[in-house]
């Protein structure tokens, strides 16, 4: 980490391939993440796996009162 803003964020793993480009954050924050083609592909797979684990809607037994928090990150939209 340092001043090299064009480096892939996963460059430490040492198997970067393709062109490093800015991609919109997969977390939906709107941040731009620098990733090479190879690691962007891996990130997409990771995001897909997370989507499967945490569905967009609360499970039927999810109780907002018990959890004390919101299922949706941003209720203002
Ligand atoms: Zn990379």
Give mean pLDDT in consecutive 10-residue pieces for the chain, a chain of 77 residues: 68 94 84 94 89 75 67 59
Whether residue 47 is contained in a domain is answered as: yes
Q: How many domains does the chain have?
A: 1
The number of angstroms, rounded, from the C-alpha of 75 to the middle of its chain's C-alpha atoms is: 19
Helix, strand, coil fractions of the chain, as percent rounded to 5 = 30, 10, 60
Count of beta carbons in the 10 Å neighbourhood of residue 52: 8
Rounded CA-CA distance 68/50 in Å is 22
Whether residue 64 is contained in a domain is answered as: no
Whether residue 77 is contained in a domain is answered as: no
Whether residue 29 is contained in a domain is answered as: yes
pLDDT at residue 3, rounded to an integer: 44
Note residues around ion ligand 1 (Cβ under 5 angstroms).
8, 10, 16, 36, 39
Host domain of residue 21: 11-55
pLDDT at residue 72, rounded to an integer: 64
Tokens 């897909």, residue located:
48
Report CA(12)–ligand 1 centroid distance (Å). Answer: 8
């Amino acid at each position: 980490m340092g001043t090299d803003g064009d480096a892939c964020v996963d460059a430490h793993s040492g198997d970067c391939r393709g062109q490093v480009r800015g991609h919109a954050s997969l977390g939906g924050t709107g941040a731009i993440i620098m990733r090479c083609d190879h690691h962007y592909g891996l990130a997409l797979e990771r995001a897909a796996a997370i989507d499967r684990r945490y569905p967009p809607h609360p499970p039927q037994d999810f109780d907002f009162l018990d959890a004390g928090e919101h299922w949706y990150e941003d209720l203002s939209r």
